[in-house]
Amino acid sequence: MGCVESLKYEVVLKGASFKECREYVRAHCKEYRDVQPGFRLFEKAVVGVPPISIGLDGDVLVFPYTKPCYGTFLLKIEDPEEAARIRALKKK
């Protein structure tokens, strides 16, 4: 997800486990959608242990971002188009 690094993001959790990210999204975001690894978010395949929860608060997306050396970060990015695309996914 190299292109995510070029977007304006906020780090919500740093060095979190995939489980902590999922629990945070489900507890703190108004809505969320579960996706499988490999799902394309910001045009790149998402890495993680399924189900991967993507949080939605208006136009803001909250999602895990994994780096091999630094663990998993939970990031927050405002993007109306991507938020609308994720919101349109069927709730599971």
Partner 1 sequence: MSGKESDKTAVLVLGCPQVPVQTGVALYLLHALRKKGVVPVVAGNRAARMLVEVSDPERHYVGETVDLDRFIDDLAGKVRAYGLYFIFIHNDSGVSYAATVQSITGSTVVALIYGEHFEEIAESIEFPCEKIAAKAVHNPMPLRKKIDEVLPWVVSNL
Binding site residues, partner 1, CB under 8 A: 1-2, 17-18, 36-40, 44-50, 66-72
Cβ at position 10, least distance to partner 1 in Å: 21
Cβ at position 24, least distance to partner 1 in Å: 15
Pairing mode, if any, of strands 60-67 and 9-16? unpaired
Residues 6+ apart with CB under 8 A from 5: none
Q: How far apart are CA 15 and CA 38, in angstroms?
A: 21
Nearer to partner 1, 10 or 17 (CB): 17
Nearer to partner 1, 44 or 85 (CB): 44
